[in-house]
Chains A and B, each alone.
Chain A
Amino acid sequence: MKPQDENKEGIGGMINPRRYGIERVAYLLMRLSGLGLLAYFIGHIYETSSILKGQVGWNEFLDLTQTNEGHALLAIVIAMCVFHTVNGIRVMLGHGGVGVGKPSRPDYPYDPASQNMKHKIGIYSAIVLAAIAMMYGLAVMYGE
Chain B
Amino acid sequence: MVNKMRESTIMKIHYGTALGAVALVAVHILMRLTQSFAESLEYTNVIANYQFLPYAGMLEIILILLSIHGFNGLRVILLELKQGPRYEKAVSYGCVAAMMGLIAYGSRTIIMVNMGML
Contact = CB atoms under 8 A, between A and B. Distances in A.
A81 B37 CA distance: 18
Majority SS of interface residues in chain B? helix
Majority SS of interface residues in chain A? helix
Interface residues of B, number: 32
Interface string B62-90: 01001100110110010011000000000
A135 B102 CA distance: 31
Interface string B15-37: 10011001001000000010011
Given A140-B33, A144-B38, A85 B109 contact: no
Given A38-B71, A45-B63, A58 B106 contact: no
A81 B26 CA distance: 10
B18 A88 contact: yes
Interface of A: 11, 14, 31, 34-35, 37-38, 41-42, 45-46, 48-49, 51-52, 54-55, 58-59, 62, 66, 81, 85, 88-89, 92, 95, 140-141, 143-144
10 contacts: A11-B81, A41-B67, A49-B109, A51-B46, A81-B25, A92-B18, A140-B33, A141-B37, A143-B37, A144-B38
